[in-house]
Structure 1
Amino acid sequence: MASCVSGCSPAMRFCQKLNRLKTLEDDVMATSLKRCLSTVDLALLGVGGMVGSGLYVLTGTVAKDTAGPAVVVSFLIAGVASLMAALCYAEFGARVPKTGSAYMFTYVSVGEIWAFLIGWNVILEYMIGGAAVARAWSGYLDSIFNHRIQNFTESHVMRWTCPSLPITQTS
């Protein structure tokens, strides 16, 4: 970015600071880590990260309650979306040959403020994903014990009902 002349307003300097880009060093490929993963290893690592326990826990519930036989179409749409995200990461990886995630790629390509927002979005994604998996696993654990945990909680602690939220009850 061009440097400000003495007549620049503080708002203009602030906007320039928000949009600054991280510069890469000369030797971006130098690392002390050994690169020993093959393409198959990386692909399997990605599939393992995407599948997680959500696939095994929530697929039956979604197929039964929401999608029905159209769950196959839902998986095809999700697969196309995942393929597009993988192609975006591949392009970022080719443009910025440095170890990193969406935060680093955004910081180098677009700017600091956008990298900050992406970083917090990644944290939010992990929190929501962890909460969804925890909710699903707790439902399975409760069903193993014949809903004794839910019954004890509702009778001795409290029952939380909010009519504005469409929460389905498990029984």
Structure 2
Amino acid sequence: MLATWTPDKELNRIRLRCGADMKRKLRWYDLVALGVGGMLDVGVFVTTNPIARNNSGPSVFISYIIAVISALLSALCYTKFSVRIPVAGGAFSYLRVTFGEFVGYFAGANILIEYVLSNVVVARSFTEHLCSAFGVSDPNSWRVEVHGLLQGYNKLDFLVVAIVLILTLCLCHSTKESSILNLIMTIFHVVFFGFIIIMSFCNGSVNNLVKPKGLTPNGIRGVLDGAAIVDFSYIGYDSVSTLAEEIHNPPVTLPVGIIGSVLSSPDFTASCLGFVYDGTLQSGAGASLGIVTSLLVAMLGQARHPIECTLFLGICTAFIVLFTDLDIVIEMISIGTLLVFYLVANALIYRNMLLDIMETRAAMMGLPLFGGITIAVIAFFQYMMPCLGQPSE
């Protein structure tokens, strides 16, 4: 359970067992399109509104700046690992090679939960944006309410269930064809974002940043809480790293795809935050189409082989999205995401500073060392949490 795998073993053993290599058909622009397509609409259309309403207020753009800095640093860690170990496992493989199988499988479970919940968040918001495009103020009017279920789980959304299942079947057909479809939709999405940016500069107002309760109505805590949640908007580069065995020249293409997708998304996001409410119909129509892109990218970041895994995760996504409200899921998704990013960053530090100068047997101490530090930090914060005073009214 604590045994570590060497990079060569990770690269070759599973490949020999399955008896075939994945076809290397993807180029750098496919990776950038997959990353950008997965991050753009999630950040602007899904998370911005609830974060601005409940946490950051007008300072939501500051939350995005903090989140993108964190995402860029984490993306650099993924880039270095993906060049050293260009396999389809992503963070799972990086951690299994560094800390052993237990940490690898623990991170892998969190990654699967992250992808499923991100699919649920994006899919659940599809109905809301589609209603906005048709001028319907209450999206629940398109859902079936079951009075016997708990609040937050009693509004069934059969429309998005059908969309999730259709996209799942599309992904089962071929990775290349799925990436072409995603590329076309991402191009449309970028054009639509350009329209929103132009409308923002023409009709936006600086007064929206300070009225009615100031720039930071909930203080710095609200800004940081918002940053922790919108960090989920930048998980697209995580899915890019899992395509390592399906691209040409991974040492060159992967860094361009990962860093390019992270650097491209904040420009569009920051430029769109000033869009006035007069454009709700237009933004609703564009968001509905763009959310299909995010669903495609999020599912593509999961297991593509074998087909049974894709079908299983697609069915899990459809089952959860049928019942669960958006506000419930959006609070859960960032927990697993930040944990995996933290583990990958620790693994890179460990490999660079300790593993290269230690023997294999001594390297086994890495797991209890970093695990002990992690538990100590979490215990400290849990102990201090009740001691924090409530903010004054």
TM-score interval for Structure 1 and Structure 2 normalised by the shorter chain = 0.5 to 0.7
Q: How many percent of aligned residue pairs carry the same amino acid?
A: 29
More helix by share: 2
1:147 alignment partner, one of 107, 120, 138 = 138
Q: Answer yes or no: is 1:63 the counterpart of 2:52.
A: yes
Q: Which of residues 86, 102, 108 is equivalent to 1:119?
A: 108
Q: How far, CA to CA, are the matches of 2:87 and 2:144 in structure 1?
A: 50
Contact kept in structure 1, 2:127 and 2:139, CA below 8 Å: no
Runs of 5+ unmatched residues, structure 2: 13-20, 153-326, 329-393
Among 62, 85, 93, the alignment partner of 1:73 is 62
Paired residue type of 1:20: A
Task: Point out where structure 1 has 5 or more consecutive residues left out of the alignment.
Answer: 1-17
Matches within 5 A, 1:1-171: 18-23=1-6, 24-25=8-9, 33-34=23-24, 37-38=27-28, 41-141=30-130, 144-147=135-138, 149-150=140-141, 153=144, 157=147, 160-161=150-151
What is the distance in 1 between the residues matched to 2:104 and 2:2? 10
The offset of 1:75, in angstroms, is 0.6
* Aligned-pair CA distance for 1:22: 2.3
- TM-score for both structures, normalised by structure 1: 0.63
Tell me, in whole angstroms, the C-alpha distance in 1 between the residues paired with 2:142 and 2:31.
Answer: 45
Q: Is the alpha carbon distance of 1:132 and 1:54 closer, same or farther for their aligned partners in structure 2, counting shifts above 3 Å?
A: farther
RMSD: 3.6
1:5 matched to which residue of 2?
none
- 1:40-85 CA-partner distances (Å, limit 9, x unpaired): 5534432223334453233234324432220110110110111022
In 2, the alpha carbon distance for the partners of 1:117 and 1:71 equals 32
Q: TM-score, normalised by structure 2?
A: 0.31
Measured after TM superposition, the shift of residue 137 of structure 1 is 2.4
Larger radius of gyration: 1
Q: What letter is aligned with 2:2?
A: N
Query: SS of the counterpart of 1:22?
Result: coil
